[in-house]
Amino acid sequence: MVSITLPDNYGFAHGVVVGNYRKACGIKYPHTYASQEECKKSRQKSKIKFQLLLNCLIQPAAYKFNCAQRAHANFLENAPQTMLMALVAGLRFPQTAAVLTASWVVLRLLFLHGYVMSDKPDGNGRYRGILFWLAQGGLWGLSVFGVALNLGS
C-alpha cells in the first residue's frame, strides 16, 4: 500500500483568504457564496465605510468573498488529478515533475491572488496565474509519456 503524507499547513493559503472574506462580509456557514442581496448590502456598506478611499476601486467584501470561494473551488477542481499526475510523472522524470509541480503551485497562488486582490471586474485578475494550465498540461503529458515508455519496454 502507498502512503502519502501532506504537510501540516496544506491548503492554508486558500483557507485564510476565504475565511477572512467570509468574516468581513458576514456570510454564515453553510452558504458557499454570497447572494445577490448580500452583495448589494456589502456594496452599500463599503460606500459608507470607505468614502475617502476612492469607492470606484474598492470591491465590496461579498464580491471578494465570492471571488475567493471561486478561486478555491477551481483549485479543488484541478488539484486531485494534478497531484496524481505529479506522482506518476515523478516515477520516471522526478526532477522535471518537481519543477512543473512547483511551477503549478506558484502559478495557482498567482491565480488566487489575482482573482481576489485585483481591482479588475468579473474576476479577470485571475489571468495573472492562468499559465498554471501549461504546468498542469506538462504534468499530464509527462505522465502519459512515462507510462507509454514503461509499457513499451
Domain presence at residue 141: yes
Q: How confident is the model at residue 122 (pLDDT cuts 50, 70, 90)?
A: confident
Digit-coded pLDDT (tens) for 35-83: 777 767 766 555 444 443 333 344 677 888 888 888 889 999 999 999 9
Q: Find the CATH number of the domain harbouring 98.
A: 1.20.120.550
Buried b (16+ CB within 10 A) or exposed e, 46-55: beeeeeeeee
DSSP string, 69-99: HHHHHHHHHHHHHHHHHHHHHHHH-HHHHHH
Distances (CA, A) of 55 to 59, 112, 123: 8, 23, 18
79 domain residue, yes or no: yes
Residue 38 lies in a domain: yes
**What average pLDDT does this structure show over 28-41?**
73
Q: How many domains does one find in the chain?
A: 1
Tell me the residue range of the domain where 73 lies. 12-152
The per-residue pLDDT of the chain, averaged, comes to 80
